[in-house]
Amino acid sequence: MEELSDRLSECYDVSGWWPAGSEWEVMVGAILVQQTTWESVEKVLDSLKERGAMDVGAMASLPLEELQEVVRPAGFYRQKASRIKGLAIYIVQEHASDPRRLLEGDEDDRREELLAQPGIGEETADAILLFAGRRPRFIAAAYVRRLLNRLGILSSEDYGEVQRFMEAELPRDAELYVQLYALMVHHARTVCRSRPRCQACCLRDRCRFNGIAGRTDFR
């Protein structure tokens, strides 16, 4: 896995891939990015900031219809607005309006607490824990699963299995997880797409899917 990380690091610069922001901003971004691209999320985050709504308390009291209109460019705006507002209200009521309290303490407990919130599944919960809390949870997103499968490293669509595999392969280091996740997603979005561009791929000499003889994994 270290070699995969090194190879991808030689191919791409992903510094600043997930923009720095407050814990709450990262939580909102993690919900907004469900089933869409980060580009459309950024527009919504900017709009929320312009309205002074990038604050848990302000978000909790923002009328739902108004929030829906702001969220609309990110798609699924009714669901996403409800999820964001619901999470804001939960943090106000249960964590004294401090989103950091939802990230502290026992990691498994915090993950369960996030998963208990409407519309927050494993990928979103892990994105919040990793990017907002800097907790070492590898996000076993579909892009990651596809790349592992094609490279011949692990063939599984089971989120938990892929996450456990990655965490067993890597040192428990959140910054390392952020970096490798960013590299893998970037590679899967730009080159190893659903129709892969193998001729342009910097991993093609090591990829089982590409039919190249020789070593086929990076473990």
Binding site for ligand SF4 (CB under 6 A): 150-151, 191-192, 196-198, 201, 203-204, 207, 209-210
Closer residue to ligand SF4 in complex, CB, 102/151:
151
Closer residue to ligand SF4 in complex, CB, 172/189:
189
Shortest Cβ distance from residue 200 to ligand SF4 (Å)?
8
Closer residue to ligand SF4 in complex, CB, 64/200:
200
Shortest Cβ distance from residue 152 to ligand SF4 (Å)?
9
Shortest Cβ distance from residue 1 to ligand SF4 (Å)?
15
Shortest Cβ distance from residue 149 to ligand SF4 (Å)?
9
Closer residue to ligand SF4 in complex, CB, 60/192:
192
> CA dist 50 to 55, 137, 178, Å?
12, 32, 28
Closer residue to ligand SF4 in complex, CB, 177/218:
218
Shortest Cβ distance from residue 192 to ligand SF4 (Å)?
3
